[in-house]
């Protein structure tokens, strides 16, 4: 990939990573913690009869404790999975299959991650009643709407903590109180917010929490589900069978190196979250100011406050975001629109917020993180502003010859 970018943009180009909401680089301290569990301490955590197995299970339990501490949960309530998507499936399907005799109503929001929405869609075909709540123009849920939607026959409310496209933070504590009052369980997708903003499963009254390591400077391929053990206890129908690991909720040999890395990432986040968030928020404000100072027609999607520090989603008037990103492949960014089955479709999140397709297609998501520097922000902003100005002056034509001519004129 680096060779491809060098050929496209020149040898002096240095790639800039601003897509930390998609995934984060592994923190070197996390990698250092993991390496021994690939080599010297490679035992299976289910092997209880020898030292190698004992060391593996000890490392797993230490990681479980670190993750529990980060969300104010007891360690035994942490169930390891392959990632947040599996955790979401276990939480939602597990509740639906266990408690369907008590009720078949599930409440969620239209702006949830596809991991949640696709599971919900599947349950709807199985006869569950699904209530999909609207959001306002900033991506927030109305608590009155939640209060009205959660009826006595509701078994589950599934609302994400921080939106993965615009960074909107929902009032999970208030939603949790509503769900608890009606006897419904609250599931929260916290893949984006874990370790970046405080989470307390007790004060927020969260019963199920889906999380992942790779959004927290840990490795890919490992996640966890917090499953409340008391007041109230949540019982889940397992979705993976074959050995009864993780208290019967998720069978399969544990990914010990990945789990160790997740635990190390959680411990680091617990110690450094406040400082990290303040620094990243400063960078976010610096980036937004640079964009606004350099170009008119910059609009933030979502609120500038009450959002995840590292997320900035902006629409740049009179440009197409995909065309912009195609011209700056050395900068890792995401668009605010997605394509499915080769048919352009506006982002479902931005559409739910009421954005017109033109603005949705002009939207770019910046994901800033622990290792983002101010110099990278300045360099990226300069390149984006120049390219956006070029596109406004002479938009790409369908004909390759016209496009080439246009680029030459603009330079």
Q: Does this model's pTM top 0.85?
A: yes
pLDDT at 354 over 60: yes
pLDDT at 384 over 80: yes
pLDDT at 250 over 60: yes
Q: Which residues contact 392 (CB under 8 A, 6 or more apart)?
A: 318, 319
Q: Which residues contact 210 (CB under 8 A, 6 or more apart)?
A: 84, 87, 88, 91, 187, 188, 189, 190, 191, 223, 225
pLDDT score at 402: 42
pLDDT score at 145: 98
Q: Which residues contact 382 (CB under 8 A, 6 or more apart)?
A: 294
β partners of residue 315: 299, 363
Q: What is the mean pLDDT of the chain?
A: 91
pLDDT score at 403: 38
> What's the pLDDT tens digit per position in 260-280?
999 999 999 999 999 999 999
Q: How many CA atoms lie within 13 A of 71 on its CB side?
A: 33
pLDDT score at 341: 36
pLDDT score at 344: 65
> What's the pLDDT tens digit per position in 197-245?
999 999 999 999 999 999 999 999 999 999 999 999 999 999 999 988 8
Nearest to 228 by CA among 207, 245, 243: 207
Query: Domains in the chain, ordered, with CATH?
Result: 2-26+273-410 (3.90.1150.10), 28-269 (3.40.640.10)
β partners of residue 80: 224
Mean of pLDDT values over 91-103? 97
Active site residue 69: no
Mean of pLDDT values over 301-307? 86
Mean of pLDDT values over 11-32? 92
pLDDT score at 58: 94
pLDDT at 305 over 90: no
Banded pLDDT at 408 (limits 50, 70, 90): very low
Nearest to 296 by CA among 276, 274, 322, 315: 315
Banded pLDDT at 345 (limits 50, 70, 90): confident
Q: Catalytic: which of 9, 69, 311, 339?
A: 339
Helix, strand, or coil (residue 313): strand
pLDDT at 337 over 70: no
Helix, strand, or coil (residue 245): coil
**Are 370 and 29 a contacting pair, CB within 8 Å?**
no
- The percentage of residues in the chain with a pLDDT greater than 70, rounded to a whole number, is 91
Retrieve residue 24's tokens: 């984060």
Angle, alpha carbons 95-353-209 (nearest 5°): 25
**Are 247 and 51 a contacting pair, CB within 8 Å?**
no
pLDDT score at 154: 98
pLDDT at 77 over 90: yes
pLDDT score at 339: 41
Q: How far apart are alpha carbons 201 and 196 in whole angstroms?
A: 15
> Cα–chain-centroid distance for residue 166?
11
Mean of pLDDT values over 370-387? 98
More confident site: 8 or 55: 55
Q: How far is CA 400 from CA 395, 397, 407, in A?
A: 12, 7, 11
């Amino acid at each position: 990939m680096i060779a491809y970018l060098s050929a496209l943009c020149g040898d002096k180009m240095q790639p800039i990573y601003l897509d930390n909401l998609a995934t984060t680089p592994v923190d070197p301290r996390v990698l250092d913690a993991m390496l021994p569990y690939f080599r010297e301490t490679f035992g299976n955590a289910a092997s209880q009869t020898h030292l190698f197995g004992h060391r593996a299970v000890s490392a797993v339990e230490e990681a479980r404790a670190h993750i529990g501490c980060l969300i104010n949960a007891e360690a035994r309530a942490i169930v390891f999975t392959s990632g947040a998507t599996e955790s979401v499936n276990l939480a939602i399907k597990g509740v639906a299959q266990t408690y369907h005799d008590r009720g078949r109503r599930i409440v969620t929001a239209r702006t949830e991650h596809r991991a949640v929405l696709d599971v919900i869609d599947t349950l709807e075909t199985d006869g569950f009643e699904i209530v999909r709540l609207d959001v306002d123009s900033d991506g927030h849920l109305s608590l009155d709407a939640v209060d009205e939607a959660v009826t006595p026959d509701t078994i589950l409310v599934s609302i994400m903590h921080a939106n993965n496209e615009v960074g909107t933070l929902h009032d999970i504590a208030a939603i949790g109180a509503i769900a608890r009052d009606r006897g419904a369980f609250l599931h929260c997708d916290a893949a984006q917010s874990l370790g970046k903003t405080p989470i307390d499963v007790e004060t927020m009254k969260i019963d199920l929490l889906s999380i992942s390591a790779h959004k927290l400077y840990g490795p890919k391929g490992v996640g966890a589900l917090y499953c409340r053990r008391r007041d109230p206890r949540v019982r889940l129908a397992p979705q993976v069978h074959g050995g009864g690991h993780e208290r019967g909720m998720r069978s399969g040999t544990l990914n010990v190196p990945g789990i160790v890395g997740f635990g190390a990432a959680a411990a680091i986040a617990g110690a450094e979250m406040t400082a990290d968030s303040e620094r990243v928020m400063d960078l976010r404000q610096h980036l937004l100011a640079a964009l606004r100072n350099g170009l008119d027609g910059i609009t933030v999607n979502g609120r500038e406050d009450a959002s995840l520090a590292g997320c900035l989603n902006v629409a740049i008037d009179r440009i197409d975001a995909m065309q912009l990103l195609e011209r700056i492949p050395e900068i890792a960014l995401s668009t605010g629109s997605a394509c499915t089955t080769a048919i352009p479709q506006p982002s479902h999140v931005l559409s739910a917020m009421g954005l017109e397709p033109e603005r949705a297609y002009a939207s770019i998501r910046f994901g800033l993180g622990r290792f983002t520097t101010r110099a990278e922000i300045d360099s990226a902003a300069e390149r984006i502003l120049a390219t956006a100005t070029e596109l406004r002056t002479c938009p790409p034509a369908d004909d390759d010859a016209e496009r080439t001519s246009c680029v030459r004129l603009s330079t």
